Chains A and B, each alone.
Chain A
């Protein structure tokens, strides 16, 4: 742990503990004779209640108006008398002969020690809320992820335009990832993207390119999960969407970040569910394609962190084995991911009266929305299309679905960055690193690089995609070392079905506390895409 954090946490704990601690307080006094009682209480502004323990075992309690009568040697006042079993036997004005009293008792008022404890818990609550708010405002700093990309400098994490190579958690797992930027019409032919590392990770970036394809007014370009690009036009809005007989059309009709999602099954993380989509009046569409904007929940983040936790202090050995043994690597890649599955698209065949599998979407990462298209090649003739989306419960968040009429397959231009800025300053070394296929630009937590691209002036507007290739190394947290459980790791890799079933209860605790608060705490987005305008 960083010494600054360690000393901060120790100071906080000590401060709070000092408030909550308490010392012993002695409040009760006993007097065997009335003279001692009178002497001790004569200067008091407010007399304490007086308890007279009588020789016969009864007790009288006199309220604060009692007084001593020296001539009659009695204590007089209003109060109550109780028997040996403390049942009340008298209430009213009492006169007690002092020689019948065995012991007089007085009690000081006890000052509540709870105020200190409540203050301590109040301070702790305040600190917890501040940390939680900071984490919610900038979740990657707390929860980690892969590199994220922003078109606008001041965008928060909730408005990230892309996140790169989320699956590449080791050098051997490096891959290139394409993300649609859903850019508004470009104003000039210089376009910049900011790459941030706000997580406790080392990002090793091999290549950053801008994919650009010209677009005319009312045209869009989308890419498929297999990275083919299609020019499209004539968007067809969703007519109706149903989830378990619930109408969710409003959530899916617009690209507004008002997402549909469900919670994981409490008995098994592998649990499929369906959404049915209806599109009417599609007779004018020649080649319809289904456009989907989606991202994952925090389930995959949880599973990655769990795996790292299970590795414990052997994480380096296991990662070394992953680097050198392809079989193990494939197991890591396929096991859990295969069981949780993709977003599968089925189309209703009216003639055969059955669902036909059409294609699938998949992209790891809970931060940025992915917008992709799959051409619908198996549609049956008619004026409407009925689509079934089959997906794992609690794994996906869907923002938008629509149909687009595919015009043609296209090849975008691949544009390398012209300038790279490192926190505002030109960084020639970074440019050399990113230009050399054998080299990597190393981005550490807090790093911020701006990639400036120059677009050809031949066209007014371009549809833009970001290509990022690399891998990242998650920083091991000392708290994870305590989670070491190689048996669980083996189960995760060898028997993911069983693991996902057994892990459901643990994940539900995490999901309830994290997903709900984190995502529902979002402010309403103003980030409507150009496409919807």
Chain B
């Protein structure tokens, strides 16, 4: 039967998952989870500012006053005042995209006739949960970690080395 709302919802979710995962993971060289000990770059961070704007890129360094983020594609460092940060999400390893399971399992309910009444919500809840939990895997937010501990995921956990200009960092 026609489940146009579900179809649109699924399409949007797929679009969201595609736009926010594969593209970013490649763009910011986010490592696989089993290669974390060989990763040389800072983790990818998305910072939500109190002003409503977002800043995202490679986490370069953090101190008590500011966070330095290297943005693509300009490969230019921007400084964000710690006091302006509303929340953040840090992606330290690549996650798998399970977005495809949502339409596939929803379609499977078509074979269940009247029992789709049960199987469709079960399939949708489970696959959406799996997709969302996979997207949230290998991430930290301000709920998991303070800004002070976030340093560990910067390219320079010790702070920007003396003598190095931000413009030199690429």
Nearest Cβ distance between residue A107 and chain B, in whole angstroms?
4
Q: Is A456 an interface residue (CB 8 A)?
A: no
Q: Is A263 an interface residue (CB 8 A)?
A: no
Contact of B110 (CB < 8 Å), options: A16, A48, A109, A513 = A513
Q: Is B68 an interface residue (CB 8 A)?
A: no
Task: List the A side residues contacting B152 at CB < 8 Å.
Answer: 28-30, 105
Chain A residue with the shortest CB-CB distance to B7: A509
Complex alpha-carbon distance, A28 and B42, angstroms: 13
Q: Is B169 a contact partner of A506 (Cβ separation < 8 A)?
A: no
Contact of A84 (CB < 8 Å), options: B125, B130, B144, B164 = B164
Complex alpha-carbon distance, A102 and B162, angstroms: 12
Complex alpha-carbon distance, A518 and B112, angstroms: 11
Q: Is B114 a contact partner of A142 (Cβ separation < 8 A)?
A: yes
Q: Is A117 a contact partner of B157 (Cβ separation < 8 A)?
A: no
Q: Is A5 a contact partner of B2 (Cβ separation < 8 A)?
A: no
Chain A residue with the shortest CB-CB distance to B155: A86
Task: List the B side residues contacting A57 at CB < 8 Å.
Answer: 156, 160-161, 164
Q: Give A383-426 interface residues, CB cut-off 8 Å to B.
A: none
Q: Is A17 a contact partner of B140 (Cβ separation < 8 A)?
A: no
Nearest Cβ distance between residue A4 and chain B, in whole angstroms?
10
Complex alpha-carbon distance, A12 and B120, angstroms: 12
Per-position 1/0 for A1-18, Cβ under 8 A of B: 100011011001100110
Nearest Cβ distance between residue A492 and chain B, in whole angstroms?
13
Q: Is B120 a contact partner of A20 (Cβ separation < 8 A)?
A: no
Given contacts A109-B34, A131-B112, A141-B113, contact A56 B126 (CB under 8 A): no
Q: Is A348 an interface residue (CB 8 A)?
A: no
Chain A residue with the shortest CB-CB distance to B33: A110
Q: How large is the interface on B (under 10, 10 to 19, 20 to 34, 35 or more residues)?
A: 35 or more
Task: List the A side residues contacting B36 at CB < 8 Å.
Answer: 27-28, 107, 110
Q: Is B111 an interface residue (CB 8 A)?
A: yes
Task: List the A side residues contacting B126 at CB < 8 Å.
Answer: 13, 16-17, 20, 120-121, 124
Per-position 1/0 for A100-122, Cβ under 8 A of B: 00110111011011100100110
Nearest Cβ distance between residue A104 and chain B, in whole angstroms?
10
Q: Is B118 a contact partner of A309 (Cβ separation < 8 A)?
A: no
Task: List the A side residues contacting B14 at CB < 8 Å.
Answer: none
Complex alpha-carbon distance, A1 and B36, angstroms: 48
Contact of B93 (CB < 8 Å), options: A12, A13, A48, A110 = A110
Q: Is A513 a contact partner of B164 (Cβ separation < 8 A)?
A: no
Complex alpha-carbon distance, A57 and B160, angstroms: 7
Nearest Cβ distance between residue A58 and chain B, in whole angstroms?
9
Contact of B158 (CB < 8 Å), options: A27, A103, A144 = A103
Q: Is A427 an interface residue (CB 8 A)?
A: no
Q: Give B80-137 interface residues, CB cut-off 8 Å to A.
A: 93, 96, 98, 101, 105, 107-123, 125-127, 129-130, 133-134, 136-137
Nearest Cβ distance between residue A43 and chain B, in whole angstroms?
19
Complex alpha-carbon distance, A59 and B126, angstroms: 42
Nearest Cβ distance between residue A210 and chain B, in whole angstroms?
31
Task: List the B side residues contacting A306 at CB < 8 Å.
Answer: 1-2
Q: Is A510 a contact partner of B1 (Cβ separation < 8 A)?
A: yes
Nearest Cβ distance between residue B148 and chain A, in whole angstroms?
11
Given contacts A17-B129, A107-B36, contact A113 B137 (CB under 8 A): yes
Task: List the A side residues contacting B127 at CB < 8 Å.
Answer: 121, 124
Q: Is A136 an interface residue (CB 8 A)?
A: yes
Task: List the A side residues contacting B113 at CB < 8 Å.
Answer: 135, 139, 141-144
Q: Is A128 a contact partner of B37 (Cβ separation < 8 A)?
A: no
Which of the candidate stretches A168-176, A232-240, A430-438, A478-486 sits at the interface with the other chain? A478-486
Q: Is A24 a contact partner of B111 (Cβ separation < 8 A)?
A: no
Q: Is B44 an interface residue (CB 8 A)?
A: no
Chain A residue with the shortest CB-CB distance to B42: A86
Chain A: residues with Cβ within 8 Å of the partner, total of 73
Nearest Cβ distance between residue B4 and chain A, in whole angstroms?
8
Contact of B41 (CB < 8 Å), options: A48, A86, A106, A480 = A86
Nearest Cβ distance between residue A469 and chain B, in whole angstroms?
26
Give the interface centre of A9, A21, A125, A518 by most chain B CB atoms within 10 Å: A9
Complex alpha-carbon distance, A7 and B137, angstroms: 29
Task: List the A side residues contacting B107 at CB < 8 Å.
Answer: 513
Q: Is A117 a contact partner of B98 (Cβ separation < 8 A)?
A: yes
Complex alpha-carbon distance, A91 and B74, angstroms: 30
Complex alpha-carbon distance, A369 and B78, angstroms: 73
Chain B residue with the shortest CB-CB distance to A15: B126
Complex alpha-carbon distance, A125 and B122, angstroms: 11
Q: Is A49 an interface residue (CB 8 A)?
A: yes
Given contacts A107-B36, A141-B113, contact A128 B161 (CB under 8 A): no
Contact of B117 (CB < 8 Å), options: A55, A117, A478 = A478
Task: List the A side residues contacting B121 at CB < 8 Å.
Answer: 9, 13
Given contacts A20-B133, A22-B137, A309-B1, contact A517 B37 (CB under 8 A): no
Contact of B2 (CB < 8 Å), options: A51, A82, A506 = A506
Task: List the A side residues contacting B111 at CB < 8 Å.
Answer: 128, 131-132, 135-136, 513-514, 517-518
Give the interface centre of B36, B118, B169 by most chain A CB atoms within 10 Å: B118
Nearest Cβ distance between residue A79 and chain B, in whole angstroms?
10
A interface residues (Cβ-Cβ under 8 A, vs B): 1, 5-6, 8-9, 12-13, 16-17, 20-22, 24, 27-30, 48-49, 51, 53-57, 59, 61, 82, 84-86, 102-103, 105-107, 109-110, 112-114, 117, 120-121, 124-125, 127-128, 131-132, 135-136, 139, 141-144, 200, 302, 305-306, 309, 477-480, 483, 506, 510, 513-514, 517-518
B interface residues (Cβ-Cβ under 8 A, vs A): 1-2, 33-34, 36-38, 40-41, 93, 96, 98, 101, 105, 107-123, 125-127, 129-130, 133-134, 136-138, 140, 144, 151-153, 155-158, 160-164, 168-170
Enumerate 30 A-B pairs (CB-CB under 8 Å) in ascending A order. Answer: A9-B119, A13-B125, A20-B129, A30-B157, A53-B156, A55-B158, A56-B163, A57-B164, A61-B40, A86-B41, A102-B161, A107-B36, A110-B93, A114-B134, A117-B98, A117-B130, A121-B130, A124-B105, A124-B123, A124-B127, A128-B105, A128-B108, A131-B111, A131-B115, A142-B112, A142-B115, A479-B1, A479-B120, A483-B2, A514-B110
4 nearest A-B pairs in the assembled complex, by CB-CB distance: A142-B113, A102-B158, A57-B161, A49-B37
